[in-house]
């Protein structure tokens, strides 16, 4: 193991433990996209042979991805955020004024639609979550009413890893408001856990390619046979009239390639990632017995580990470890670089001080166990150093004098 300029141990090669933020595209994904760019460069709407070649690739990708979720139709988007927006704004467009329910700890892509919904005379209302970031059926039921036009659920929390009982929540929503649109943000979970749109009883699902070793700038919204969604803007009629503009054929090909690999190895990869994070947590807990694992203890994503290390500032720990070659996050990448309180950690009841002690590690199927060992050693080294410097720590005075 190499040393940095201060003589501390650093990794010989950088260790990436921030796969919930984005993933490195697989080599075959890049190759498939390059082939599509060069060999199928035609406009899919063109009627000649060049257009037909691009159209075939686009439709093959669409059919594979649609079938992977048991959906009736599928609209390609620029990513998960656009898919979320299209689902909720499109599903509520033209409906009488009402409410849209979203989890208090949901992704900013959903919660930030409050203003846009208000312009359409709909009110965004947050559903309280428990200390695991989970939505209980009772909490949803208390807020349900016949004026609820849509319910959005985060199936696989991006910061905590918690997986809700989506089917049960969808059933609660249907009992009170049979015509409400139930949307699921599946961005973190797709390709990592099993999910079937019909079995879960939902109307739409959002997915993003760069979360599963696919390309950036491509995602999709999968729709059930009952879903009724209006376009956000006019265009040339592409994507069944729901999203105008010349299609990103290479992106669709790359996303389908990444999804095919992830889904064909889903259970194998899930088991490996679970073992990787269990090993990391056990090593950290052995030296830091007061460390707290966040998220639901059983229903959680296999690749996300969120922890709170008391008396250790998460941002300082992240920066110190990054300087030594270990990359991870203090939470969602959407919160990085902002001083505003993290709404997720607020929603689960953490005060400002405790929220600052939270860090998130996220692995991929390509993460190695020796990388976990190296990362754990550096994280522990820096955490102990920072804890010793914390005000009120008896170790601090001695450490600060040296």
**pLDDT of res. 331:** 61
Q: Which domains does the chain have, with CATH numbers?
A: 15-20+266-401 (3.90.1150.10), 27-264 (3.40.640.10)
Residue found by looking up tokens 């709404």 in the block: 343
Rounded to a whole number of angstroms, the distance between the first and last alpha carbons of the chain is 25
The structure tokens listed for 136 are 């209980």
CA 199 to CA 176: how far, in whole Å? 19
The better pLDDT of the pair 316, 10 is held by 316
Q: Average pLDDT, stretch 188-196? A: 97
What is the pTM for the complete model shown? 0.92
CA 238 to CA 88: how far, in whole Å? 20
pLDDT per position as a tens digit, 40-60: 999 999 999 999 999 999 999
**pLDDT of res. 236:** 85
Q: 320 Cβ partners below 8 Å, 6+ apart? A: 382, 385, 386
pLDDT per position as a tens digit, 56-72: 999 999 999 999 999 99
Q: 99 Cβ partners below 8 Å, 6+ apart? A: 122, 123, 124, 125, 143, 145, 147, 148, 149
pLDDT per position as a tens digit, 250-284: 999 999 999 999 999 999 999 999 999 999 999 99
CA 2 to CA 117: how far, in whole Å? 53
Angle, helices 314-323 vs 369-388, to 10°: value is 130
The structure tokens listed for 208 are 């993003």
Q: Could you give the residue numbers annotated as active site? A: 334
The structure tokens listed for 197 are 């749109």
**pLDDT of res. 398:** 39
Band of pLDDT at residue 234, cut at 50, 70 and 90: confident
**pLDDT of res. 399:** 39
* Average confidence score pLDDT of the chain: 93
Q: Average pLDDT, stretch 222-243? A: 93
Nearest to 165 by CA among 131, 199, 188: 199
Nearest to 280 by CA among 309, 315, 313, 312: 309
Helix (H) or strand (E) run with residue 248 in it:
none
pLDDT at 5 over 80: no
CA 250 to CA 238: how far, in whole Å? 16
Q: Average pLDDT, stretch 207-232? A: 97
Q: 327 Cβ partners below 8 Å, 6+ apart? A: 14, 15, 16, 17, 18, 321
**pLDDT of res. 332:** 46
pLDDT at 113 over 60: yes
**pLDDT of res. 397:** 41
Band of pLDDT at residue 10, cut at 50, 70 and 90: low
The DSSP secondary-structure symbol of 273 reads: H
- In a 13 Å sphere around the CA of 83, the CA atoms on its Cβ side amount to 27
pLDDT at 133 over 50: yes
Own/partner contacts of 36-40, CB < 8 Å, gap of 24 or more, are 36/249, 36/250, 36/253, 36/254, 37/250, 40/249, 40/250
């Amino acid at each position: 193991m190499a040393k940095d300029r201060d003589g501390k141990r650093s990794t010989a090669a950088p260790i990436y433990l921030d796969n919930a933020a984005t993933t490195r595209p697989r080599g075959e994904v890049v190759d498939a996209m390059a082939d599509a760019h060069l060999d199928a460069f035609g406009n899919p709407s063109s009627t000649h042979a060049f257009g037909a070649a691009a159209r075939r690739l686009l439709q093959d990708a669409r059919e594979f991805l649609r079938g992977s979720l048991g959906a009736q139709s599928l609209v390609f988007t620029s990513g998960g955020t656009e898919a979320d927006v299209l689902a909720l704004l499109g599903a509520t467009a033209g409906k009488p004024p009402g409410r849209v329910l979203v989890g208090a700890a949901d992704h900013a892509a959903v919660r930030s639609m409050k203003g846009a919904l208000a312009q359409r005379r709909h009110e965004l209302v947050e559903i309280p979550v428990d200390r695991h970031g989970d939505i209980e059926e009772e909490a949803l039921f208390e807020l349900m009413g016949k004026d609820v036009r849509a319910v959005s659920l985060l199936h696989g929390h991006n910061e905590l890893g918690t997986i809700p009982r989506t089917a049960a929540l969808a059933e609660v929503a249907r009992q009170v408001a049979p015509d409400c649109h139930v949307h699921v943000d599946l961005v973190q979970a797709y390709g990592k856990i099993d999910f079937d749109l019909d079995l879960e009883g939902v109307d739409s699902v959002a997915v993003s390619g760069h979360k599963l070793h696919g390309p950036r700038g491509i995602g999709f919204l999968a729709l059930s046979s009952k879903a009724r969604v209006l376009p956000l803007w006019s265009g040339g009629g592409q994507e069944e009239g729901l999203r105008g503009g010349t299609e990103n054929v290479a992106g669709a090909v790359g996303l389908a390639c990444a999804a095919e690999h992830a889904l064909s190895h889903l259970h194998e990869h899930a088991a490996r990632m679970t073992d990787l994070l269990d090993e990391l947590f056990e090593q950290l807990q052995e030296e830091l017995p007061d460390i707290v694992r966040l998220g639901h203890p059983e229903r959680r994503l296999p690749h996300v580990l969120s922890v709170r290390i008391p008396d250790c500032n998460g941002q300082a720990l992240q920066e110190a470890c990054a300087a030594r070659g270990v990359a991870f996050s203090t939470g969602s990448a959407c919160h990085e670089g902002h001083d505003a309180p993290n709404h997720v950690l607020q929603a689960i009841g953490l005060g400002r001080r405790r929220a600052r002690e939270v860090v998130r590690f996220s692995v991929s199927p390509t993460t190695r166990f020796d990388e976990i060992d190296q990362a754990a050693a550096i994280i522990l080294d820096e955490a102990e150093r920072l804890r010793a410097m914390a005000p009120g720590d008896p170790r601090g005075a001695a450490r600060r004098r040296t």
